[in-house]
Amino acid sequence: MSLPNNFLWGGATAANQYEGGWNEGGRGLANVDVTPWGPDRRKVMSGTSRTHCLDAEHFYPGLDAVDFYHHYKEDIALFAEMGFKVFRMSIAWSRIFPRGDEEEPNEEGLRFYEDVFRELQKSNIEPLVTITHFDCPMYLITEYGGWKNPKLVELYKRLCTVLFTRFKPYVKWWLTFNEINMILHLPFMGAGLEFDAGENQEKAKYLAAHNELLASAWAVKIGHEINPDNMIGCMVAAGEFYPWSPKPEDVFLAQQKERENLMFIDVQARGEYPRYAEKMFERLGLDPGITPEQARLLKDNTVDFISFSYYTSRCVSTCPEAGEQVGNAFKGVKNPYLKISDWGWAIDPLGLRTTMNSLYDRYQKPLFIVENGLGAKDEPDADGRILDDYRIQYLQAHLQAMKDAVELDGVPLLGYTAWGCIDLISASTGEMSKRYGFIYVDRDDQGNGTLQRSRKKSFDWYKKVIATNGEDLSSD
């Protein structure tokens, strides 16, 4: 038996891609609402076009998403049928504080999540709650400039205090910021940042990152004070950077790229900036102005565990013959040894085992895989069923690599939540057709469809995987 009996099997979602109900229950407008589908999406997510409201020319897929807001009972029943032990979801900040800076929270928003948690409790499913998954109330962006402004640390603390207090009877597992390193790649999405022409974007991003890191440490502190049983983790978009060749420059570049991501976790897990980050700040002319109190805060409030998403590995090179840079948020060259998904992401199960070993070697804290999966197009067969063997194959190989890391390498792992366990909106492209789920949702890229839920072939397969605690990964 390779996995512990209390291993947390489940699935993962995020409010901005799943919840919908954007203008219901007193919820305020958020950055994720004004991020359109189509060619302008990338400009908005990267903070180079100032988009503050909805217009008639664009379609905004996150507004209704797949409407968990009205379907949560039905969805949770399906998760329970698969045997989930844990369900990862996020809180929409603007549902709790519609503008973000109110003194008092929105009671209707709190009640919505309470209802969801009660429903999960009935099925013995533990919630794993991401406090911030790419969302920020729009008002905090237009009035405060997003996470560049240290005032957001205070407002986030207020949010955390409300969540930890009110949801204490239901929630023990928390993540402070989803893929905190995404701030470097999609800064409007990751931190509500918008840039002026000529602005030093790197500097602004690291300043915002510093504020998020302080806020994350505050969350750990407040969360432990309110409930010492709380388990509070960080979350990084992981995936090894491989040197394309053994050329020393390629190896060095891969190390630098790795550090770019892990710098955040270095702070969250070890409690201080690594030396290489201090040097980088010097080069940028950035002085985050860390006070002795802040240094203490970071040092005393490190996370309980390290969570991460893993979809793919990346390959980097300084050699022109390595070919052009590909990929969306993370750029890299093509790895000649790996096949790619329909969206060009390299499929690398062994890379998951390598990643788990690297993270554990570096931090010696338990790990939690909170996202993994294959984004693919699903076409119903003549009987209307989705026979998604490609998804099963991807997950089989990754789960085997995960088990090897636990059993053969001794990496402590708390759980595994498959991303988009029910079809939802893609974060990078805004498409509905990039599906990850065990549960199909009838909706297309333009928002047409009945939102009806149905089980794919992978639904029964994952149910068996959970029932056997990962011992039986086979498929017929």
What are the residues binding ligand BG6 (CB under 6 A)?
Answer: 14, 17, 178-179, 237, 309, 371, 375, 419, 426-429, 434
| 13 closest CA partner among 108, 118, 127 | 127
Whole-angstrom Cα distance, residue 382 to residue 287?
Answer: 62
Please state, as a whole number, how many other Cβ atoms lie within 10 Å of the Cβ of residue 429: 18
The nearer residue to ligand BG6, 131 or 427, going by C-beta atoms, is: 427
Alpha-carbon distance values, 260 to 142, 237, 280, 317 (Å): 28, 11, 10, 16
Q: Pick the catalytic residue: 119, 126, 194, 371?
A: 371
Known catalytic residue at 371:
yes
The nearer residue to ligand BG6, 179 or 240, going by C-beta atoms, is: 179
Whole-angstrom Cα distance, residue 396 to residue 445?
Answer: 28
Contacts of residue 78, Cβ cutoff 8 Å, sequence gap at least 6: 422, 439, 453, 455, 459
The nearer residue to ligand BG6, 17 or 268, going by C-beta atoms, is: 17
Q: Pick the catalytic residue: 179, 212, 240, 431?
A: 179
Residue 143 and residue 57 in contact, taking contact as beta carbons nearer than 8 Å: no
Alpha-carbon distance values, 437 to 13, 79, 324, 414, 451 (Å): 10, 11, 31, 22, 14
Q: Where are the alpha helices (DSSP H) in 47-200?
A: 68-82, 93-96, 107-122, 138-144, 151-166, 187-191
Residue 242 phi, psi (nearest 5): -95, 140
Whole-angstrom Cα distance, residue 89 to residue 132?
Answer: 10
The nearer residue to ligand BG6, 178 or 261, going by C-beta atoms, is: 178
Residue pointed to by tokens 């300084």: 318
Whole-angstrom Cα distance, residue 231 to residue 366?
Answer: 11
The nearer residue to ligand BG6, 220 or 427, going by C-beta atoms, is: 427
Residue nearest to ligand BG6 (CB): 428
CB of 427 to ligand BG6, least distance (A): 4
DSSP 281: H
The nearer residue to ligand BG6, 175 or 267, going by C-beta atoms, is: 175
Known catalytic residue at 249:
no
CB of 129 to ligand BG6, least distance (A): 14
Residue 11 and residue 131 in contact, taking contact as beta carbons nearer than 8 Å: no
The residues that bridge with 9 in the sheet, in sequence order, are 416
Helix 389-407 to helix 457-467 angle, to the nearest 10 degrees?
20
The nearer residue to ligand BG6, 375 or 470, going by C-beta atoms, is: 375
Supply the residues annotated as catalytic: 179, 371
